[in-house]
Structure 1
Amino acid sequence: MWGIIATWRMAHDGIVAASEQLKNSGKAGDAAETCIKMVEDYPYYKSVGYGGLPNEEGILEMDAAYMDGDTFKIGGVAGIVDVANPVSVARSLSDHKFNSFRVGNGATKFAQLEGFERKNMMTERSKKMYDLRLEEMKEKGLSAYDGHDTIGAVSLDQSGSMVAATSSSGLFMKKAGRVGDSPLSGSGFYVDSEIGGAAATGLGEDLMKGCLSYEIVRLMGEGMHPQEAADKAMYSFHHKLTKRYGKAGAFSLVAMNNKGDWGVATNVEFTFSVANDKEEPAIYIAQMGDDDKTIIEPITQEWLDAYEKRIKTPIDQLGK
């Protein structure tokens, strides 16, 4: 058996490629990295990698993490700049016993010394969106923050090994040095090959208050199906945070156990992609149900067409 699940529609092409690897006895780590690199490399996905959205100073700072569910090895980077594939840097760091989580200049310097591809990750499109947001903030007093859709993946290979990995450019217009949940173990991701794994996307400042990825894995370890575990962890904390903090930001989580069964929970409209040895790669849309159970439906072609049109809006039409 094998399987892979990842957050957002943007993961689908990567899921298709990774599923071929897993189907042909590929390794969980390679599959997760393949999936995420395809998102990092695609210029139209504005919240991850190349073409991502910058901080308030116009600098594109990226976060990523990689976790091996067999050994619990973890590598992470935060605030890395000018590197093509932060997830690959995180994976490399997971092999280091010490200094395996690097931030800012330390992360970027490590990547350069190790020969990872240097690349200006800002595009003409992302620069245009930055300039437009500056104008909106000045003229209309709009909130700076937007665009925090992390790619998070959990993979299972035929040998039973599991991996979780994440990559994100974080909040659009964030303060320099801001780090969300994506590279933080237990919040943005967690995996144990004897149980399963989970990954999160949403508002990092609120997600890290609950360590929801770890909680989902813990509940699966107690015998819960991934869907049951995801619903229980996500909705319980959503209600608790709303009561005690006053509100809860966007939360969406994907999970897969060591049998390839999967689950998803969200408090917003959320898309994801999944494949396993029983199911061909597919995109679904999820939303919060009235009874603390996530509603999951196949995506429609109409939705997909609108999505493609939106993300590929010509640069000269942005903001109009």
Structure 2
Amino acid sequence: MSFGIIATWRMALEGVEKAAKMLKDGSSAGDALENAIMAVEDYPFYKSVGYGGLPNENGEVELDAAFMDGDTLSIGAVGGIRDFKNPISIARHLSRERFNIFLVGIGAEEYAHKNGFERKNMLTERAKKIWDKRIREIREQNLSPYDGHDTVGMVCLDKNSSMAAGTSTSGLFMKKRGRVGDSPLSGSGFYVDSQIGGAVATGLGEDIMKGCLSYETVKLIERGLSPQEAAEKSVYELTQKLLQRRGKSGEISVVCMDNKGRWGVGTNVEFSFVVSCEDDNVPKVYLANPHGSKTLYSQASQQWLEEYLKRITSPIV
């Protein structure tokens, strides 16, 4: 039986590498996905997820995460949670509850504490320096405060044909306290059904949630479109609708995988993603770009990969 995992952004690579080994050895989609996202959350140089995530306008790191089991359609999510490590694990724990499956702020923190999750100050010195720098730029150059909204999202298929989806993010940089984007919202930031497939989104949450992008992508797969066709159609049609109705559209990207391990990507901006499948389970990073109503992609070069690592680890001045 096929297995595979697809994820948003280059930052998912190390986590996908770990998940691919787990899937090959027979691990469940849920376990592989949780471990993969935890790897992203724990790496301090990924500034839009977990430890090292960029803070809100008050200098606080508020995290959002969600988990969905494609067999049972069980969902767990947290929004605006502070000072707890690995929100994806808290979200997965919530998915096992019958009621109260989406908790925010103090309620999410109380739940995490009562269930023994690790407390941790998620604001790194590096993230604080980036925050201070942006404050100066806003004051001195009259720049917009908002920058950075790269959610890590993954869809996973295991050897038993079970699927899972998950997301984790620190959200929009310099956001208002309490702001929650699409990432933990079922149907917008994520959706998975083991009988069909799954999808996860990244980009400007305020626009993605206007189209329930992930659910729409999965429904298009159910109607017979290939994952690639579904991803392109959902992103392109939402982008066009926003342009027609509002005159502008934010960055919108989606990756998806069906229950046979076939995958697709749609985007209206340059975008990187990671894939590992049974046929070639060495994870690969791809770069995608919009081309009319289509999305074109190619494998990232070694030079691009090296420049990426240099960029994210360079000193903040």
TM (norm. structure 1) is 0.98
Q: Secondary structure at the match of 2:144?
A: coil
List runs of 5+ in structure 2 lacking aligned partners.
Answer: none
Partner of residue 199, structure 1: 200
Q: CA deviation at 1:305?
A: 1.2
The answer for the alignment partner of 2:162 in structure 1 is: 161
Q: 1:284 is matched by which residue type in structure 2?
A: Y
Indicate the residue corresponding to 1:98 in structure 2: 99
The 5-angstrom pairing of residues 253-268 of structure 1 reads: 253-268=254-269
Q: Distance in 1 between matches of 2:259 and 2:267?
A: 22
Query: Which letter maps to 1:288?
Result: P
Alignment correspondent of 2:145? 144
Helix, strand or coil for the counterpart of 1:275?
strand
Equivalences for residues 69-218 of structure 1 within 5 A: 69-218=70-219
In the TM superposition, what is the alpha-carbon distance from 1:240 to its structure 2 partner? 1.1
TM superposition shift of 1:123: 0.5
Determine helix, strand or coil for the equivalent of 1:294.
Answer: strand
Following superposition, the deviation at residue 88 of structure 1 comes to: 0.2
Partner of 1:288: 290
Q: Distance in 2 between matches of 1:106 and 1:246?
A: 38
How far off its partner does 1:237 sit? 1.1
Shift of 1:224: 1.0
Between the aligned partners of 2:50 and 2:209, the Cα distance in structure 1 is: 22
Question: Aligned equivalents of 2:304 and 2:157: distance in 1?
Answer: 29
Other-structure match for 2:18: 17
CA deviation map 1:157-212 (0-9, x unaligned) = 01110000000000000000000000000000000000000000000000000001
SS of the residue aligned with 1:218?
helix
Task: Quote the RMSD (CA, aligned, Å).
Answer: 0.6
Q: Distance in 2 between matches of 1:219 and 1:302?
A: 36
Q: Which residue of 2 aligns with 1:240?
A: 241
Deviation for aligned residue 1:236? 1.0
Aligned counterpart, 1:50:
51
SS of 1:46's partner is coil
Q: 1:81 is aligned with what amino acid?
A: R
Match of 2:33?
Answer: 32
Matched position secondary structure for 2:22 = helix
Deviation sequence 1:35-84 (CA, Å, 0-9, x none): 10000000000000000000000000000000001111000000000111
Gaps of 5+ in 1: none
Name the residue aligned to 1:60.
61
Count the aligned residue pairs: 315
How far does the alpha carbon of each residue in 1:61-113 deviate from its partner, in whole angstroms, 9 at most, with x for none? 00000000111100000000011100000000001111110000000111111
